[in-house]
């Protein structure tokens, strides 16, 4: 995988626009995790590309 990451503010704006779920949050800590895992796990890479399961990469709460 190749995950191109923007700065935190733009990444958050893009992700929240795509996810469109009031319960979906994206903190600076989430941004750091996305930077670290986006290139090895598709769930993190796809956050700013398409709607993902809000329960996370495993689908469990």
Three-class secondary structure assignment of 1-61: CCCCCCCHHHHHHHHHHHHCCCCCCCCHHHHHHHHHHCCCCHHHHHHHCCCCCCCCCCCCC
Per-residue model confidence as pLDDT tens digits over 1-34? 789 999 999 999 999 999 998 888 999 999 999 9
pLDDT for the residue 60: 61
Q: Taking the CA atoms of the chain, what radius of gyration do you get in angstroms?
A: 11
């Amino acid at each position: 995988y190749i995950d191109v990451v923007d700065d935190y503010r733009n990444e958050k704006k893009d992700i929240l626009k795509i996810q469109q779920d009031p319960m979906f949050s994206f903190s600076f800590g989430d941004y750091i995790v996305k930077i670290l895992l986006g290139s090895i796990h598709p769930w993190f890479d796809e956050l700013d590309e398409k709607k993902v399961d809000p329960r996370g990469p495993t689908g469990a709460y």
